[in-house]
Amino acid sequence: MGDVNSNVPLTAARSTGDAQLDRAVWQWLSWDKNQKTKEQIENLLQNGKHKELRDRLCCRLTFGTAGLRSAMGAGFCYINDLTVIQSTQGIYKYLERSFSDFKQRGFVVGYDTRGQVTSNCSSKKLAKLTAAVLLAKDVPVYFFSTYVPTPFVPYAVQQLKAVAGVMITASHNRKEDNGYKVKLNSEVCNASVKSLHSESNHDVGKTARKQSSI
């Protein structure tokens, strides 16, 4: 859909006066298909909230030891539809490159009961988006039909011999937060886990430079 380095400016009337921020705003408004989070960015732009726009759009979520975790809402450093789609695309690229049997063994997806009306964001919706990205790439997905505790995902990964899984949850964190916890099969060594985090961050960055549809 677009390239982060493309010079497609906002109109003069809508420009923030900061070329980097203008590009980030344009990317978000071009790529985000969630009307609620798109409106959040539109409202900040219209009200001249440039600092908040910069805080939301000029940084990115990065994978840590437990995956991703942040508040739900609009922006590249928040948990939302777009960042989950991009993160799943990055995970797919890493696993497809690293495991020749990934498309035979598949991927597990679970979720909890969290949700936020203001961003039209819920764990179940984010789980469905995760599954949609992988199914579009011909990866078998084992999707829980209802919300589950976090340990169900790694257990299912082992029992089904899947390569990996994701649990959409922020565990004990505040209700405004959500998370994207990646669980690899235990046969994968710790070095591969570390590689997953570093390479997925790289792949998510490349995905963001050229956003693709699911």
The residue type at 34 = N
Give domain limits for the chain. Answer: 8-58, 65-209
Residue from 98, 100, 123, 171 carrying the catalytic annotation: 171
Convert the pLDDT of each residue in 17-35 to its tens digit.
899 999 999 999 999 999 9
Lowest mean pLDDT among 10-24, 66-80, 102-116: 10-24
Q: Which CATH number fits domain 65-209: 3.60.20.10, 2.60.40.3500, 3.40.228.10, 3.40.120.10?
A: 3.40.120.10
Convert the pLDDT of each residue in 136-162 to its tens digit.
999 999 999 999 999 999 999 999 999
Residue 191 has pLDDT above 90, yes or no: no
Q: What percent of the chain has pLDDT over 90?
A: 71
Do 163 and 108 meet the contact criterion of CB atoms below 8 Å apart? no
Rounded to an integer, what distance in angstroms lies between the CA atom of residue 165 and that of residue 140? 11
State the pLDDT at residue 190. 47
Rounded to an integer, what distance in angstroms lies between the CA atom of residue 60 and that of residue 63? 10
The residue type at 128 = K
Residue 135 has pLDDT above 70, yes or no: yes
Query: Quick one: tokens of 158?
Result: 């082992």
State the pLDDT at residue 26. 94
pTM across the whole model: 0.85
Region 31-51: mean pLDDT is 96
Helix 81-98 × helix 123-136 angle, to 10°: 40
The residue type at 62 = T
171 is annotated as an active-site residue? yes
State the pLDDT at residue 206. 55
Lowest mean pLDDT among 59-68, 94-103, 151-160, 195-204: 195-204
Do 204 and 89 meet the contact criterion of CB atoms below 8 Å apart? yes
State the pLDDT at residue 64. 79
State the pLDDT at residue 199. 59
Instruction: Give residue 172's pLDDT band: very low, low, confident or very high (50, 70, 90).
Output: confident
DSSP string for 105-156: H-EEEEE-S-EETTTTEEHHHHHHHHHHHHHHTT--EEE-SS---TTHHHHH
Region 181-189: mean pLDDT is 79
Convert the pLDDT of each residue in 55-74 to its tens digit.
999 999 888 777 899 999 99
Query: Quick one: tokens of 106?
Result: 């598949």
Residue 100 has pLDDT above 90, yes or no: yes
Region 179-191: mean pLDDT is 76
